[in-house]
Structures are given as C-alpha cells and as structure tokens.
Structure 1
Amino acid sequence: MNIDTTYNEDNSFNKEKKIPMDNNILKNDSTNNNNNIFEKSSTNKVNNLEQSNDNIDLIMNIPINFQVILGSCSMQIAELVNLSKGDIIKLDRRIGEHVEININNQKIAKGEITIMDDDTRFGVKIVEIIHSS
C-alpha cells in the first residue's frame, strides 16, 4: 500500500492511502463470472464424493467378528473337565426364541435360526436391529 503525502493550501499534510487495484478483479469476462463459482463448487462436491467413496472402499476390507449366540449356561469347572463326546449342554434359550447377533462382541441385532434350502446349513433371519444409544 502506498501513502501519498501532499501539502494543503494551509501547509497541513494530506495523507492519502492508495490501494493498488487489480483490474482483473473488476473485469467481467468468461473467466471471472458467477458460473465459474458454481463450476468450482460442483467440482468440489464431486471430488468430495469421490474421496468419500475411496474412504468407504478402505473400510470395506476390514475384517469383523460376526457371532450368532444360541445361548449360554453356567457350570462348574468339575463339570467342564468331565464333558465327553455325546454329552448335551443345556442352554438358557428355548427353541423359537430370538438369538443374539453380535459384531465384534457388540450386540447389534436379534434373529431367528432358520434351516437353509439344502437342509445341511443353518441361517439367521434378522428380526430386529438394535440401535446403540
């Protein structure tokens, strides 16, 4: 910024600040109009969306521990060490009750055990999603 100092008729100083002007700022041509603002905004949104998709792609390959908990029981160590082939462990859930669906040891849903079409596999039908609070 330049300051121009001149004398007035009464010999007092007159200080004027000169602000340099860039003529391109005021120029209204095709390179400096509102359309470019919108184009840049749209480009930024596309870039942000692409970056967001890249971030999602990064987490899609993270392994998780998915568990379906049929039930549980309590027993003494003496009972545990005496278990052998053919023994039946009585669980706390009944047939038809919902099972817990956990991801990384966090309960995320309830489900029903189902038999798949080929009768050799079980599946779980999700009946309720549990929202964390």
Structure 2
Amino acid sequence: MAEDVENKDQVDSTEGTENLKVLENIDVMLTVEVGRTEITIRDLLRLNEGSVVELDRLAGDPLDIMVNNTKIAKGEVVMVGERFGVRFGEIVDPEKRMESI
C-alpha cells in the first residue's frame, strides 16, 4: 500500500515536471511598476508635455515587478550599460507565482 502511494507521488512529480517543461518556453510580459494614482478624465485630458502627476510611492521605495499584471517580486532600478534594468529583491513564493500567472 505504501509502495502504491510512493509510485503515485513519483508519477505526479513526473507529470508536473513535464507540464512545467511545456510552459517554460511561453513568453510572458515582465513590467516594473513605479507607482499608481487615480485621476479624473478631466485631469487626464488636461495633461500636456511637462505635466507632473504624483504617484502613491515615495522616492526610493521598492518597485513592483509584475508578470502579466501579477506582482511576483519587489526590486530596484539599476543601470545596465546605457539601459535601465531591475534588481530583484523580495520574491513571491514560486508556487504562488505559478498559480497567479
């Protein structure tokens, strides 16, 4: 009986690994969110070059790293040559990440 349970666990693990391999090559959109705010349509229509909109984050706060609009981590902006990059900090548990993607 215990052997049957062990074999079932091995089969489930193998199926999970095979399913993950299928998913590994799917492209997802990774974005970094600086902050958010709500504005009225009136204020939106009044925006022009040079306008400044205050966001809900303080300068220096960690940024949200999102995959397909789901937060997976927090991080900070870094320079990679002449481009922006992001250094990952606190990361959401891998199982929770997979559930939410």
TM range, smaller chain: 0.5 to 0.7
Root mean square deviation, CA, Å: 2.5
Q: Secondary structure at the match of 1:101?
A: strand
Does residue 95 of structure 1 match 2:63?
no
Gaps spanning 5+ residues in structure 1: where? 1-44
Q: 1:109 aligns with which of 70, 73, 76?
A: 73
Structure 2 spans left out of the alignment, 5+ residues: 1-9
Name the amino acid aligned to 1:121: R
CA distance in 1: counterparts of 2:78 and 2:31, whole angstroms: 15
**Which is richer in helix?**
2
Return the TM-score normalized by structure 1: 0.52
Q: How many residues align?
A: 83
Which residue number in structure 2 is paired with residue 60 of structure 1?
24
The one-letter code of the counterpart of 1:72 is R
Aligned to 1:126: 88
> Computing the radius of gyration over CA atoms, which structure comes out larger, 1 or 2?
1
Higher relative contact order (CA 8 A, sep 6+): 2
Structure-2-length-normalised TM-score: 0.67
